[in-house]
């Protein structure tokens, strides 16, 4: 009886922790999707500008360069 209660509490806390971790992963995936759309929009706007800003193009290129690493981290 005395060993059952700690195991039960440990199991419940483990489930709660796993749920919290899963929710954080889903939130990170949502943020990554938003970031990808934002970068695409910024690239498109910059490309259609009369005088494209090279700093914006450089920042977008660096984000694209690290995009695979970010996806691996989320996965």
**Domain residue extents for the chain:** 4-74
For residue 68, what pLDDT band results from cuts at 50, 70 and 90?
confident
Query: What backbone phi and psi angles, to 5 degrees, belong to 23?
Result: -65, -40
Q: Are 45 and 35 in contact (CB under 8 A)?
A: no
Q: What is the pLDDT of residue 1?
A: 65
Query: What backbone phi and psi angles, to 5 degrees, belong to 52?
Result: -60, 140
What pLDDT, in 10s, does the model give residues 23-49? 998 898 888 889 889 999 999 999 888
Q: What is the pLDDT of residue 14?
A: 92
In degrees, rounded to 5, the angle at the alpha carbon of residue 32 between the alpha carbons of residues 69 and 19 is 100
């Amino acid at each position: 009886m005395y060993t059952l209660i700690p195991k039960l509490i440990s199991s419940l806390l483990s489930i709660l922790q796993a749920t919290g971790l899963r929710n954080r992963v889903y939130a990170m995936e949502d943020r990554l999707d938003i970031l990808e759309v934002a970068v695409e929009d910024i690239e498109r706007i910059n490309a259609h500008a009369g005088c494209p800003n090279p700093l914006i193009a450089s920042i977008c290129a660096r984000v694209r360069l690290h995009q695979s690493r970010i996806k691996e981290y989320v996965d």
